[in-house]
A and B are shown apart, each in its own frame.
Chain A
Amino acid sequence: MILDFQLHNLTVVEELETGLWRVTLRAEDNLFASTIILDIKAPALDIRAISLEIARDVFGMVPDLTEAEKKLVGVRVGPGMTKIVREIVGGSSGSDRVAELLLEAMEMLVNAITVPELRKATELGPSQPHGERNDTVTVLNDRVIGLEMIRRLASNPRLKDSCAAFKGLD
């Protein structure tokens, strides 16, 4: 059957200079399209600059977010950001869709910062994943993080019990 609706969502994180990242999120579906650009600076990981562009809004649901944009400058990527962003951008006078996309963009910075650490942890462990299907022609996981490193990572309260990998290790 032919598809009658598609969503495409691309987020790119680049380090403009040491400790200054730009997160660009582009979301597009049949009813809505938006580009969000955030400049975020270490060490506080606070938003220094922001651009919210709505390119398609078939039902005209997104209000003018100029004031919300100004209030977002200074908001930090970290604990509490979900509540703050939803209060500033979401709700009946804002756009919950844009609020969720902003939070997604902010979370992708955390992923980006985590990648080098996870890469190092992966290189330490020559482990093969348990339960990997043996009928796969092309193996995507030639190396994964082994149990010893998993236990070490799970000692971080943010990761402990956060998913199947970090559960039931005690």
Chain B
Amino acid sequence: MKKSSMPQYSRVKTCGVQKQGSDYRVVSGILEDELYAMECEICVHWPELTIKTVNAEMKRFTTERCLLAGKVFRDCEGWQIDSGLDGRIKKELGRNGCRHMAILIVDCLHSLVRAELARELQAALLVDAGLDRKEFLNNFLHRNPGLGNYLKIH
């Protein structure tokens, strides 16, 4: 067996998405590495694609001032999922709060939108197992042009 070194650093991020009724999507996220541990839960009003509520908690951090970041995370309540959202989160929640939490929130929201695509594909495959996936994707993007721009799907 090849000799290998021990990890010097590792980071795990995980996001889980659920549909709550027809109008809400909820995503929970966890980030943990040698320095940081944080969690968030985000509820999005789906037809309007707006962030309804955010609960973000910093659990392990590096400086005595890191908890000051907690004051800004809820600023994104009311923001809409569109092509400018990632930049806005990184700038306003990252630079004024914590960039690691901002990254987790971005990943959570991307997962929430990808979940929509996965959910619809799964339902469509039940009806037609041999469907053309490219055509399905094009139809999805035609119906949801904002989501294609948000995920940068060309």
Interface status of B33 (Cβ within 8 A of chain A)? yes
Label chain A's interface by main secondary structure: mixed
Asked whether B67 lies within 8 Å of A108 as measured between CB atoms, the reply is: no
Interface status of B49 (Cβ within 8 A of chain A)? no
The contact size tier of chain B is 35 or more
Interface status of A51 (Cβ within 8 A of chain B)? no
Asked whether A6 lies within 8 Å of B15 as measured between CB atoms, the reply is: yes
Against A, the Cβ 8 Å flags (1 = close, 0 = not) of B123-152 are 000000000011001000000000000001
CB distance from A74 to the nearest CB of B (A): 23
Per the 8 Å Cβ criterion, residues 57-71 of A in contact with B are 58-61
Bound complex: CA of A129 vs CA of B63, how far in Å? 7
CB distance from B104 to the nearest CB of A (A): 10
Interface status of B74 (Cβ within 8 A of chain A)? no
Residues of A near B60 (CB, < 8 A) are 140-141
Asked whether B14 lies within 8 Å of A163 as measured between CB atoms, the reply is: no
Interface status of A13 (Cβ within 8 A of chain B)? yes
- Contact of A162 (CB < 8 Å), options: B17, B62, B95: B95
The 6 A-B pairs of least Cβ separation, nearest first, read: A5-B115, A112-B9, A164-B69, A165-B65, A5-B17, A96-B152
A sample of 28 inter-chain contacts (CB < 8 A) reads A1-B20, A5-B115, A6-B16, A7-B110, A8-B12, A9-B11, A9-B12, A11-B11, A12-B9, A13-B8, A14-B5, A14-B6, A14-B8, A15-B5, A29-B118, A31-B121, A32-B114, A59-B133, A60-B134, A108-B11, A115-B35, A118-B62, A121-B62, A130-B67, A141-B60, A144-B62, A147-B64, A164-B96
